[in-house]
Amino acid sequence: MDGELFFLYHRSGGVWRIEKTPTCDIQRPDYAGAAMTGRPTASLGMVTTKDVARVVGVSASTVARALRDNPRISEQTRLRVRDAAREMGYVVHSAARLMRGESSTVIGLAVPDIQNDFYATLARAVAEVCRESGFQLVLSITEDDPDAESEHLRAMVGAQVAGTVIVPTAKPLPASLALLDRLPSTQVIRHVSSIDSDWFAIDDERGVYEATKHLIDGGHQRIAYVGASDQLSTGQARLDGYRSAHARAGLHVRPELIALGSPRVDFARAALTALYATFRPTAIVSGGSQITVGILQALSDLGIRIPEDMSFVAYGDSALYRSWPTPLTAIALPVRDIALAGCTSLIRRIRGGRQVDVHEPAPHRALYLPRLVVRRSTTRPAFNEDPAIAGT
């Protein structure tokens, strides 16, 4: 693959990010704030414990002990050292820490993307747990590309992360499985059986089942479904929910009403446009957060009104959907709860000393229930359904 991986650090939220980029110009710290405090500045370079010691007026060993909260150092000195280190931009040298036999304080998070509320919420929750637990977070964006996933995992293992939280691609490469076998890991949202790890996910089948049943109970029989590929565990579960609702109502599922593909905006927009031209549904269930956005764009392109012309159930309950001109009925997802539980479980595993035996049976595998929130985007069909057509 073109390009290289770099660790890019920013302090907001304590999140690091791994990106594939051809070049990377790194500005080293210039002791920002030294002029305001009257403390001496230094030439550009890596800030060391000796630099902090000179500013505070103590020895380098005292600085090292203070930063490790050694009780032999007075609370006043520890506060002075931490304040100076923070203002000078001091960063603990991870390699040196590991050579001293100390544990890594970095956790990796691998997600498909970060541009929508779904994964942004997940990343914020994982970062929150890490920050409260004294860990830093490295963020990897795989774009659902198995090669990128493998490359980023290799970088994480090379950086000696303590463990990783991962939303896996549909079919991780053998190299990725081997890398994950070397460190504690937790799967969230998706589940790949070839990865032997804890697993925290949404009961996606139940969520889409309830959404589809709601529309059937409202008199709809031509219900379209636009979702992620059934190669993904989430895509298969959501499709199963859609089919189960039809089966329990005695309705036949028409292939023309199903569109599966990449969980991206462009796919959903094109898929619904084509689907509507083939066989006009009276209602639509979305099978993904980005898919919801694509469906809304397609409906706008086609001049279709919600719910006058089409009932619609969104996947995910974004604040945007609640304030939509016609507030959207939505499948509310416990993403934050899953992220908190998954990351907390991983940290407990790391701190419990079980990271050495990563083959130990995973103790936590849990499904979290979504919730259907009914608003004004769903109503009875504008015209009578033809049972003979819908049931064929």
Regarding whether 259 and 383 lie in a shared domain, the answer is yes
Which range of 39-43, 44-48, 131-135 scores highest in mean pLDDT? It is 131-135
User: Per-residue pLDDT for 354 more than 80?
Assistant: no
User: In the chain, what percentage of residues exceed pLDDT 90?
Assistant: 61
Q: Are 152 and 172 in contact (CB under 8 A)?
A: no
Q: Is the pLDDT confidence value at 104 over 80?
A: no
Point out which residues pair with 109 in neighbouring strands: 139, 165
Q: pTM of this prediction?
A: 0.73
Residue 19 identity: E
H/E element, 258: strand 258-261
Residue 367: count of CB within 10 angstroms of its CB? 17
- Greatest mean pLDDT among 14-28, 99-113, 263-277, 373-387: 263-277
Residue 331, judged by CB atoms within 10 A of its CB (0-12, 13-18, 19+), counts as buried
Q: Are residues 384 and 277 in the same domain?
A: yes
Co-location of 208 and 198 in the same domain: no
| pLDDT number for residue 105 | 82
Q: What is the mean pLDDT of residues 38-59?
A: 72
For residue 241, the domain's CATH number is 3.40.50.2300
- Sign of CA pseudo-dihedral 318, 286, 191, 368: positive
151 within some domain: yes
Asked if pLDDT for residue 154 goes beyond 50, the answer is yes
The domain that contains 73 carries what CATH number? 1.10.260.40
Parallel, antiparallel or unpaired: strands 198-202 and 185-188: parallel
CA separation for the pair 392, 382 (Å, rounded): 21
Token pair of 301, please?
A: 């392109």
Is 18 within a domain? no
Per the domain annotation, does 298 fall within a domain? Answer: yes
Number of domains in the chain: 3
In terms of DSSP H, where are the helices of the chain? 34-37, 49-56, 60-67, 75-88, 94-99, 117-133, 146-158, 174-180, 204-217, 233-248, 265-278, 289-302, 319-322, 335-351, 387-390
* Cα distance between residue 320 and residue 310, in whole Å: 19
Please provide residue 64's backbone torsions phi and psi, each rounded to the nearest 5 degrees: -60, -45
22: in domain: no
Confidence of residue 117 (pLDDT cuts 50, 70, 90): confident
pLDDT tens digits, one per residue of 178-216: 999 888 999 999 999 889 888 999 999 999 999 999 999
- Helices and strands counted in the chain (H then E): 15, 14
CA 314 – CA 223 distance, rounded (Å): 13
Whether 26 maps to a domain, the answer reads no
More confident residue, 46 or 189: 189
The stretch 290-300 carries a mean pLDDT of 96
Q: State both tokens at 338.
A: 């899953």
- Asked whether residue 355 carries a pLDDT value surpassing 90, the answer given is no
Is 28 within a domain? no
Same domain, 377 and 246: yes
Residue 240, pLDDT score:
98
Whether residues 235 and 293 share a domain: the answer is yes
* Structure-model confidence comparison of residues 160 and 211, the more confident one: 211
Output the six-digit token pair for 232: 């993904």
Please determine, for residue 391, whether its predicted confidence score (pLDDT) is greater than 70: no
Residue 272: its pLDDT value, please?
95
Task: Assess contact for 370 and 159: CB atoms under 8 A.
Answer: no
Residues 227, 237: Cα–Cα separation, whole Å: 10
The type of residue at 312 is F
**15 — pLDDT class (breaks 50, 70, 90):** very low
Q: Judge whether 20 lies within some domain.
A: no
- What is residue 160's predicted lDDT score, i.e. its pLDDT? 85
Q: 101 or 264: which carries more pLDDT confidence?
A: 264
Mean pLDDT of 269-278: 92
Q: pLDDT class for 315, splitting at 50, 70, 90?
A: very high
270-to-282, 291, 316 alpha-carbon distances in Å: 18, 11, 20
Residue 94 has pLDDT above 80, yes or no: no
Same domain, 80 and 113: no
pLDDT attached to residue 171:
93
- Cα end-to-end distance, the chain, whole Å: 49
Looking at the structure, tell me whether residues 166 and 288 fall in a common domain: no
> Which position has the higher pLDDT, 238 or 32?
238
Same domain, 232 and 380: yes
Q: Order across the sheet with 185-188: list the strands.
A: 4-10, 15-21, 136-141, 106-111, 163-166, 185-188, 198-202, 365-368
Residue 7 has pLDDT above 80, yes or no: no
- What pLDDT, on a 0 to 100 scale, did the predictor assign at position 220? 96
Distances (CA, A) of 245 to 205, 217, 227: 10, 10, 16
When the pLDDT of each residue in the chain is averaged and rounded to a whole number, the result is 82
- pLDDT value at 100 more than 60: no
Do 255 and 197 belong to one domain? no
Report the pLDDT averaged over residues 230-244: 96
Distance of CA 368 to the CA centre of its chain: 16
| pLDDT higher than 90, residue 392 | no
Q: Minimum mean pLDDT among 15-24, 169-178, 311-320: which range?
A: 15-24
Q: Which residue has the tokens 């959501």?
A: 238
Same domain, 265 and 384: yes
DSSP secondary-structure letter at 257? G
Statement: residue 61 has pLDDT above 60: yes
* Residue 241 included in any domain: yes
Identify the top-confidence range among 20-24, 55-59, 310-314: 310-314
Tell me the residue range of the domain where 188 lies. Answer: 4-12+104-202+337-368
380 shares a domain with 253: yes
Same domain, 191 and 209: no
> Has residue 2 got a pLDDT over 90?
no
